[in-house]
């Protein structure tokens, strides 16, 4: 018997043109680092927040799997099979049983090794782009399952928004608060920091009794998000990796001080650094503080952005 044609057929269709996916950077509003586990990861309690700083990945049909790039860090990033974008495409092909064929092009804006999860964002973008190009039709949850093997932050970037991360960061659940628009300034530093090195430095500082006490529960942060008052949120932000990032890059203290001197409510190191992020009351204040930070000479660039933003999406 032949299968009947259904006018409401909702099976995914392959797009006729290129697929363009936009993916945001992330910051951590709360980054609580627990003990080192046997698998080499640290137990985390974090609140992720996607911000309006984007990479863009374009996927076109191809006879092989290739990757090219332009923008931030072009020439520094290795584009072979070790690249997280290629690994993401192959992981999706394995999951779906489809051939890993695509011409991928990355326009990079998120700084490399900056503590903004740029590499993880690109992996999330590759999952969403190849899913659309191949007509695979996986749900967000299914894409997030594939994302787990690619990196701790990748599942969050499939979802975006503001979300609680536990485990090594890969167990993600949305923070259910009435959406508010938060205004941030992101200051990029010269050079990057290696995430494993920053975690190792925190372990060393803790072993020597030289680290600040670990952040406690996320409850104050979640309550502050509910209050929707930037002044209250500023008091609740925290990052256990900040002491380690500052120990490896003492110059970041100047960046943090310059942002606060320019009128930011507070500043903190983003993730494992060296990018720093500042909370402001309004978008005008963010624009003004970004200009003052650039002027201060304490960072490579500074940009006013908003959050929360959606995760990797077909543009
Ligand atoms: O998961 P991802 O590949 O992004 O992690 C990079 C490195 O950061 C890990 O190899 C590990 O050294 C460190 N890390 C950690 N604990 C976590 C997440 C990352 O120690 N929860």
> What's the rounded Cα separation, in Å, for the pair 252 and 313?
33
Domains of the chain: 19-175 (3.30.230.10), 182-307 (3.30.70.890)
Question: pLDDT of 6-27, one tens digit each?
Answer: 445 555 667 778 999 999 999 9
Atom of ligand 1 nearest to the CA of 196: 12
Residue 131 and residue 120: Cα distance in Å, rounded?
17
Neighbours of 198 (CB within 10 A): 24
Q: What is the pLDDT of residue 11?
A: 53
- Ligand 1: distance of its center to the CA of 271 in Å? 11
pLDDT in tens, 39-94: 999 999 999 999 999 999 999 999 999 999 999 888 888 888 999 999 999 999 99
CA of 38 relative to ligand 1 center, distance in Å = 13
Distances in Å between the alpha carbon of 71 and those of 68, 84, 110, 127, 276?
11, 17, 9, 21, 21
Pocket test for ligand 1, best of 168, 202, 241, 245 (most atoms within 8 A of CB): 168
Work out the average pLDDT over 186-200: 97
Q: 300 C-alpha to center of ligand 1: Å?
A: 25
Question: What is the CB neighbour count within 10 angstroms for residue 30?
Answer: 26
Q: How many CA atoms lie within 13 A of 62 on its CB side?
A: 18
**pLDDT greater than 70 at residue 263:** yes
Pocket residues for ligand 1 (CB within 6 Å)?
40-42, 44, 151-153, 168-169, 195-196, 199
Answer yes or no: is pLDDT of 260 > 80: yes
pLDDT in tens, 279-288: 999 999 999 9
Active site residue 108: no
Separation of alpha carbons 98 and 38, rounded Å: 35
pLDDT digits (tens, 9 = 90+) for 83-105: 999 999 999 999 999 999 999 99
Q: Which residue's CA is the nearest one to ligand 1's atom 4?
A: 151
Which residue from 33, 37, 42 has its CB within 8 A of the most atoms of ligand 1, so it is best to mutate?
42
| pTM (predicted TM-score) | 0.95
Binding residues for ATP: 111-121
Nearest CA to ligand 1 atom 20: 41
Q: What is the pLDDT of residue 185?
A: 98
Average the pLDDT over 145-174 and give the result: 98
Contact indicator for 271, 31 with CB cutoff of 8 Å: yes
Residue whose CA is at the smallest distance from ligand 1 atom 21: 168
Q: In this model, does residue 176 exceed pLDDT 70?
A: yes
- How far apart are the CA of 20 and the centre of ligand 1, in A? 29
Name which residue sits closest to atom 7 of ligand 1, judged by CA: 196
Catalytic (active site) residue 294: no
Cβ neighbour number for residue 290 with a 10 Å cutoff: 25
Q: Please identify which of the residues 55, 122, 153, 240 carries the catalytic annotation.
A: 153
109-118: pLDDT as tens digits: 999 989 999 9
Residue 3's pLDDT is 45
In this structure, are residues 20 and 58 in contact, taking their beta carbons and an 8 Å threshold? yes
Does the pLDDT of residue 243 top 60, yes or no?
A: yes
* 199, 200, 206, 214, best to mutate for ligand 1 pocket (most atoms within 8 Å of CB): 199
Q: Kindly report the average pLDDT of the chain as a whole number.
A: 95
Tell me, what's the pLDDT at 179?
79
Pairing of strands 238-239, 19-36: parallel
- Rounded CA gap, 227 and 183, in Å? 15
For residue 165, the CA-to-ligand 1 centroid distance in Å is: 13
CA distance 143 to 152: 14
The values of phi and psi at residue 251, to 5°, are -65, -20
Q: Which atom of ligand 1 is nearest to the CA of 44?
A: 21
């Amino acid at each position: 018997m032949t299968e009947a044609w259904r006018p409401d057929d909702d099976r995914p269709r392959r797009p006729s043109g290129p697929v363009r996916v936009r993916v945001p950077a992330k910051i951590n509003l709360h980054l609580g680092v627990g003990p080192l586990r046997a698998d080499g990861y640290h137990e985390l309690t974090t609140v992720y927040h996607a911000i309006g700083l984007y990479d863009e990945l374009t996927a076109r049909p191809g006879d092989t799997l290739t990757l090219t790039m332009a923008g931030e860090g072009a020439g520094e990033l290795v584009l072979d099979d070790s690249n997280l974008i290629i690994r993401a495409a192959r992981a999706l092909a394995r999951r779906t049983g489809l051939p890993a064929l695509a011409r991928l092009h990355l326009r990079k804006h998120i700084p490399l090794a900056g503590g903004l999860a740029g590499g993880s964002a690109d992996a999330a973008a590759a999952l969403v782009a190849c899913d659309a190009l191949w007509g695979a039709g996986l749900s967000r949850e299914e894409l997030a399952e594939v994302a787990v093997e690619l990196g701790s932050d990748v599942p969050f970037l499939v979802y975006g928004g503001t979300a609680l991360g536990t485990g090594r960061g890969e167990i993600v659940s949305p923070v259910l608060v009435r959406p508010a628009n938060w205004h941030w300034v992101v200051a990029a530093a010269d050079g990057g920091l290696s995430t494993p090195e920053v975690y190792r430095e925190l372990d060393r500082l803790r072993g020597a009794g030289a680290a600040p006490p670990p952040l406690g529960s996320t409850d104050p942060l979640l309550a502050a998000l509910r209050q929707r008052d930037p002044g209250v949120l500023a008091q609740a932000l925290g990052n256990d990796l900040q002491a380690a990032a500052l120990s490896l890059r003492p110059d970041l203290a100047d960046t943090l001080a310059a942002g606060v001197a320019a009128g930011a409510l507070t500043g903190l190191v983003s993730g494992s650094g060296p990018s720093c992020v500042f909370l402001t009351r309004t978008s005008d204040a963010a624009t003004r503080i970004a200009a003052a930070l650039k002027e201060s000479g304490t960072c490579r660039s500074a940009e006013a952005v908003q959050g929360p933003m959606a995760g990797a999406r077909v543009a």
